[in-house]
């Protein structure tokens, strides 16, 4: 009997399968360093093997789910097994993870004192946040391992803060941050635009099904190739804009933490520049 069972005989994929894998990664990173932490990869691998005999009910969705599971597994192997995460991966806003203040020495039974030392629970939650942000970041924005060629934002928070328009409003609304508000509104607008583009793409593909591709002329074929490939760009931009709007509006992140996900396609005049600068860098470290 093989490892995999036929698609029709597979059980439905558990609803919380992907969140559970992320929770396992975050919980593992929150533990103190030690030999046992790397051994948790065995538990992860066993659970992934268990998921192989499950299905979402769609081959396309199964492919996407498999990619997400593989991404989590490689992150786990990188952060937990192959690297010393506390010393190699740092974010300025979270401080140093190699000291007690950074929460790696959780076995110390010290409480906060006048010197500013963190209590064990404070240290644990600080490291839990570090593990959470490390697990979900795709390009390492603001981290010590930020990928190359990240597109720069057209307007930074500092430039808006110094604007006369912001100063006029800040006199009346002390806690009103105009730069964040504009950033959120722009990303809501971007998300709506990409929703429209996704719907338009679906309408075009309905009119030109895949079965008619080879019988179409070369111009139509070229346009259809672009439309087929636009699925990733449209969907990723939409989700990125929604996530940016939500996290900035509630104060979790700042606008500078959300640079454009794609670069300028005018710079993609070579294949290397297309993949290295214009296309998204979500699968790199």
Per-residue pLDDT band for 141 (boundaries 50, 70, 90) equals confident
Q: In the predicted model, is pLDDT for residue 170 greater than 50?
A: no
Q: How confident is the model at residue 281 (pLDDT cuts 50, 70, 90)?
A: confident
Whether the model clears a pTM of 0.85, i.e. scores above it, the answer is no
User: Could you give the count of Cα atoms lying within 13 Å of 114 in the half-sphere of its Cβ?
Assistant: 0
Between residues 209 and 4, which one has the greater pLDDT?
209
185 pLDDT more than 90? yes
Supply the pLDDT for residue 168.
41
Whether the pLDDT of residue 92 is over 80: the answer is no
**Percentage of the chain surpassing pLDDT 70?**
80
Residue extents of the structural domains in the chain:
7-136, 157-258
- Whether 75 shows a pLDDT value over 80: the answer reads yes
Mean pLDDT of 222-237: 87
């Amino acid at each position: 009997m093989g490892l995999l069972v036929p698609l029709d005989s597979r059980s439905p994929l558990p609803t919380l399968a992907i969140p559970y894998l992320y929770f396992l990664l975050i919980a593992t990173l929150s533990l103190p360093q030690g030999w046992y932490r790397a051994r948790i990869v065995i538990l992860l691998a066993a659970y992934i093997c268990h998921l192989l005999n499950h299905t979402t009910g769609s081959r396309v969705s199964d492919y996407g789910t498999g990619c997400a599971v593989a991404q989590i597994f490689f992150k786990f192997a990188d952060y937990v097994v192959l690297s010393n995460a506390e010393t190699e991966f740092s974010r300025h806003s979270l401080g140093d993870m190699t000291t007690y203040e950074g929460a790696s020495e959780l076995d110390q039974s010290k409480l906060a004192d006048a010197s500013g030392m963190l209590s064990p629970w404070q240290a644990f939650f600080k490291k839990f946040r570090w593990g959470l942000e490390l697990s979900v970041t795709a390009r390492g924005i603001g981290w010590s391992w930020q990928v190359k060629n990240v597109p720069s934002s057209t307007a930074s928070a500092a430039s808006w803060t110094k604007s006369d328009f912001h100063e006029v409003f800040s006199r009346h609304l002390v806690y009103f941050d105009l730069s964040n508000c504009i950033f959120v509104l722009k990303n809501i607008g971007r998300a709506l635009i990409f929703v429209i583009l996704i719907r338009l793409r679906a309408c075009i593909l309905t009119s030109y099904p895949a079965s008619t591709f080879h019988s179409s002329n070369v111009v139509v074929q070229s346009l259809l190739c672009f439309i087929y490939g636009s699925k990733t760009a449209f969907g990723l931009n939409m989700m990125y804009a929604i996530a940016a709007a939500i996290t900035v509006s509630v104060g979790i992140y700042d606008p500078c933490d959300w640079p454009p996900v794609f670069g300028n396609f005018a710079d993609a005049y070579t294949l290397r520049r297309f993949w290295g600068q214009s296309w998204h860098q979500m699968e790199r470290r």
